[in-house]
Amino acid sequence: MTAPIALTIAGSDSGGGAGIQADLKTFSALGCYGASVVTALTAQNTRTVALVEPASPAMIAGQMRAVLDDLDVRAVKLGMLGGAQAIATVAGGLDGCGLPIVLDPVMVAKSGDRLLPPDAIDALRALLSCATLLTPNLPEAACLLGCAPATTPAQMAEQGAALRAMGAGAVLMKGGHGDGAICTDLLVTAQGATPFSARRLSTRNTHGTGCTLSAAIAAGLAHALPLEQAVGVAHRYLQRAIAAADDLCVGSGHGPVHHFHAVWSHG
């Protein structure tokens, strides 16, 4: 039995909790072979992003050609792209590929450090038309739309529909930045809005949650799951990874979620 191949195009997190590293762990945990295109190097840990060094457009394009010319990729996850040139390069490399694409519009790290320059936001908006699914958190959705963050389910649905109108095939509005005991993500498609809810867990170890969720959805799509089912499987996987996050005790800041919670023994 051959595992389907999922490709992540994103930045490298030297602390291992987010970015390429989180994506590859998620792909492996969910039965996919992971390939990668590195868009940027970061000097990063659980507390801060100290330095970001982007890969050249030529290197990004070269990595994409090397992977897509040889490997039978079944789904693509886009994460931190770094800047307008990188975004344009990725868009060109994926043009006409016919693959399901999950776009996580990474703009700010968990530490608060900016990962996308303001002058690249228009380029990111243009990339929405490539996305089978866009997975913004509430501040990211607001930034893409140029409005205030949603504070109610109705506003989340409206903003998701507005992002679909900008070109995204479907939008998963992530509710992690909201308030209340229940955290709800809202999948907005042409058919309407479907909620995915879970109890909000008390932990500071949530580094890489956005990367992990979008990678998990891409893994589901690589396994040929329908979109709503892929989102459901990914949502449950992430909740369990957050619930087990404190078992890892990595770093002194916002530690990572536990990608291998179903595999590692804690006895």
Q: How far apart, in whole angstroms, are the C-alpha atoms of residue 22 and residue 30?
A: 12
Q: How far apart are CA 45 and CA 233, in angstroms?
A: 28
**72/7 Cα distance (integer angstroms):** 10
- What pLDDT, on the 0 to 100 scale, is given for residue 113? 66
Question: Whose structure tokens read 């089978």?
Answer: 132
Digitized pLDDT (tens) for each residue of the chain, 267 residues in all: 689 999 999 999 999 999 999 999 999 999 999 999 999 999 999 999 899 999 999 999 999 999 999 999 999 999 999 899 999 999 999 999 999 999 999 887 666 666 778 888 999 999 999 999 999 999 999 999 999 999 999 999 999 999 999 999 999 999 877 777 899 999 999 999 999 998 988 899 999 999 999 999 999 999 999 999 999 999 999 999 999 999 998 999 999 999 999 999 754
pLDDT of residue 40: 94
Q: What is the pLDDT of residue 82?
A: 85
**What letters, b where the CB count within 10 A reaches 16 and e where it falls short, cover 181-208?**
eebbbbbbbeeebbebebebeeeebbbb
What per-residue confidence (pLDDT) applies to 266?
58
pLDDT of residue 117: 81
Q: What is the pLDDT of residue 122?
A: 92
What does the pLDDT read at residue 267? 44
Distance from CA of residue 173 to its chain's centroid? 12
Q: For the chain, how long is the longest CA-to-CA vector? A: 50
Residues annotated as part of the active site: 174, 206, 208-211
